[in-house]
Amino acid sequence: MPSDDDSLLDDVGPALSRLRRRVGSGRGDLTRNIVLNVVGDAAGQITVGGVAEEMGVAQPVASRAIAACIAEGLLRRVASQQDGRSSLLELTDAGESARRAYATEQRRAFEEITANWDSADRLQFARFLTRYGRDASAWTARGKSEG
């Protein structure tokens, strides 16, 4: 018989899935903002293939999302200094601005969703959620280096 702790831990995955589905923006906006965050958070240079890998999607899917961001003036392609055949991606000023606006929207949603929470609980959850994101990135990176 599963314990209450086991049931709680079993509910984490579906809860994270619901969080992702409940984003206030449209689906295109979500994809756009994921692309902008992947490029903005990249440690160093990033290519279309790198974005696809970080998003966990096929390269053509990432390529279409990136093309839309370029068309909107949010990203630009630049030639790699190490490999002239390779194109790198950079945020434009408009891309940085869109990324900040989305972060502001996310904070506002977080504050509205947790408005009835005790302040200490809200801040502790924010710490845990931020830590979870950081640890998930490290876990993914370890898997890539071991695989």
Residue-wise pLDDT tens digits, 88-142: 999 999 999 999 999 999 899 899 999 999 999 999 999 999 999 889 888 877 7
pLDDT of residue 77 exceeding 90: yes
Given pLDDT bands bounded at 50, 70 and 90, which one contains residue 72? very high
Q: What is the Cα–Cα distance from 133 to 25, expressed in whole angstroms?
A: 21
Partners of residue 89 on adjacent β-strands: 77
CA 39 to chain centre: 10
- Summarize the confidence of residues 31-57 as an average pLDDT: 93
Six token digits for residue 106: 């996310």
Helix (H, G, I), strand (E, B) or coil at 28: helix
- Summarize the confidence of residues 17-44 as an average pLDDT: 80
Largest CA distance in the chain: 60
- Summarize the confidence of residues 23-45 as an average pLDDT: 82
Q: Which residues contact 53 (CB under 8 A, 6 or more apart)?
A: 144
pLDDT of residue 24 exceeding 80: no
pLDDT of residue 146 exceeding 70: no
Q: What is the Cα–Cα distance from 5 to 126, expressed in whole angstroms?
A: 21
